[in-house]
Amino acid sequence: MALVASNRASAGVVARAAQDRVPCAVFEATPEGFADLLAKFQAAGVQAVFLAGFLKPLPVAWIAHFSGKIWNLHPSLLPKFGGVGMYGMHVHRAVVAAGAVETGITLHEVTERYDEGPLCFQARAALLPSDTPELVAEKIHALEMEHVPVELERLLRARFLGA
């Protein structure tokens, strides 16, 4: 069963879920909100979690419950440009400021250490000295659209089907 969850009712994924008739839960990122959401996930039979654009640390109980079955998408080639506060345009600005010659996306397992879980997949994009943070964001978005659906399916098959 698929279930979309967001701690922001205004998130684009909430409207997209409604449009596609996918069940959606909007919750508060509080201990009580996380506990309620975990109960909803369990009732819906959710067995794995994929985070995209979620910026809050997850409770330890969540990480333990979904151990090895919870993944995050990060907009850089971890371990570079990761950690607290490194998301979205903050990452892209840091990449440009560092004069990086490449960037990319990383899918990694979520652990108790922010952006430090085992890497599952990375895709790269070359950068030009003239690239702006906005151009970097476009390159990252293109990588996400191309690779994330395929790689998530691969991760899920490997985890649940042994394929």
- pLDDT tens readout for residues 112-123: 988 999 999 999
Our answer to whether residue 74 is catalytic in this structure is yes
- Which residues, at least 6 apart from 28, have a Cβ–Cβ distance to it below 8 Å? 7
What is the predicted pLDDT for the residue at 56?
83
Q: In angstroms, rounded to a whole number, what is the distance separating the alpha carbons of residues 115 and 66?
A: 16
Annotated catalytic residue within 65, 74, 92, 108: 74
Average pLDDT for runs of 10 along the chain of length 163: 87 91 91 92 91 87 92 96 93 98 97 92 98 98 96 92 78
What is the CATH number assigned to the segment(s) 49-160? 3.40.50.170
What pTM does this model have? 0.91
Q: How many CB atoms lie within 10 A of CB 43?
A: 10
What is the predicted pLDDT for the residue at 57?
84
Q: Locate the domains of the chain by residue range.
A: 1-46, 49-160
Task: Look up tokens 């950690």; give the residue.
Answer: 83
Distances in whole angstroms, Cα of residue 19 to Cα of each of 8, 43, 47, 141, 148: 17, 23, 24, 21, 21
